[in-house]
Amino acid sequence: MSEIIAAKRAKVDDNELPLDLSLKSQSAASIKINHDNKSSVVNNHQHLEDDVDDDTNLIELSFALADIPSKLLALEYELTKRIEHITFGPPVEYIYSPIEYALSVHSNFLQKYCRTTKKILFLAMNPGPWGMSQTGIPFGEINAVVNWLKVSGFIEKPSREQPDKKITGFACTRSEISGRRFWNLFKDMCGNPENFFQYSFLRNYCPVALMDAGGRNITPAELKGPEQKELRDVCDLALLAIIKLLKVEKIVGIGRFAEQRAKNVIKVAGLTTKIFWMPHPSPRSTGNENWSEKAIKTLHELNLLQFFTNNNKSNDQGRVS
């Protein structure tokens, strides 16, 4: 556990995660996951200072070492650190970085469910106060994480807590409605999580939660001023790297903001990845009481429903089109 704390306190070089897609250095970390579900993070940042002329070389050089979960965790962790270095003006008062304080859980999640490339990436927006902010897992509703995904680990606390949105980890008694809706839908369709993750993965465009003084969630879509561009630049770069790392062929934006950011990244990078949209499961969305039916209808229209059934192990991966 001391290795995790040491890694989290390590200084992150300003050049480790560039602020635009044309810059030329990145770093990778070597992550080792032990069999007892505890993570040890080895501070083995390999600075790749080679001159490169395009994003493809940047991503390839950045991942010269380690396996997919380690590379992905390195990206997510350094993205978190770069976001923490952004100066957010009002109304942002609190910043929660669950990949940092729930690093153990998040790394175990990646080791368990993202060991291979994925044809489909579900892209959400940012952590909710009773989901990923508590568990370190996207849409991380407690019951789903504990009883279906069966992921565990050590959870610390953010440096500053909003009094009404304290982090209690797996002891949290609140249920995130968005996470409950999302994971219950795929539990009903897939039967077990392995069938969901066989072809797909889920991540947040921005893995950091922003709140005002009263604890209201401030989404990346609501930001104004220079911090909006800074946040989108670093999140876009990380998304591009993850698309390349996982060899993603389709992105399903959960909500319009995620869809638009994915479209922007794909356009700038000149990739052929297809972008789709599905409604967000948040109860704040108007007329969203029947979200599950809308989501199933959307997946059917996108010709993706066949990959989320409890017998999808027998499907031919080449059938994704």
Whether 49 has a pLDDT exceeding 70, the answer reads no
Please check whether residue 124 is in contact with residue 139, taking contact to mean a CB–CB distance below 8 angstroms. Answer: yes
For the stretch 289-317, pLDDT in tens is 789 999 999 999 999 998 997 755 444 44
Q: How far is residue 157 CA from its own chain's centroid? A: 19
For the stretch 127-156, pLDDT in tens is 999 999 999 999 999 999 999 999 999 999
2-6 mean pLDDT: 39
Cα–Cα distances in Å, from 192 out to 155, 196, 212? 25, 7, 37
Q: In the predicted model, what is the mean pLDDT of the chain?
A: 82
Element spanning 122, H or E: strand 120-124
Cβ burial 147-173 (10 Å sphere, 16+ → b, else e): ebbebbbbbbebeeebeebebebeebe
Dist CA 24 CA 62 (whole Å):
10
Dist CA 197 CA 177 (whole Å):
21
CB neighbours of residue 3 within 10 Å? 14
Can you give the pLDDT at residue 287?
A: 72
Can you give the pLDDT at residue 64?
A: 52
Helix (H, G, I), strand (E, B) or coil at 228: helix
Cβ burial 121-137 (10 Å sphere, 16+ → b, else e): bbbbbbbbbbbbbbbbb
> Residue 96 gets which letter from DSSP?
E
pLDDT bin (cut points 50, 70, 90) of residue 286 is confident
pLDDT bin (cut points 50, 70, 90) of residue 284 is confident
Can you give the pLDDT at residue 27?
A: 35
Question: Among 41-45, 61-65, 171-175, 190-194, which is the least confidently predicted range?
Answer: 41-45
pLDDT bin (cut points 50, 70, 90) of residue 40 is very low
Whether 320 has a pLDDT exceeding 60, the answer reads no
Please check whether residue 240 is in contact with residue 211, taking contact to mean a CB–CB distance below 8 angstroms. Answer: no
Can you give the pLDDT at residue 281?
A: 94
Global pTM value:
0.80
Whether 10 has a pLDDT exceeding 80, the answer reads no
Can you give the pLDDT at residue 316?
A: 43
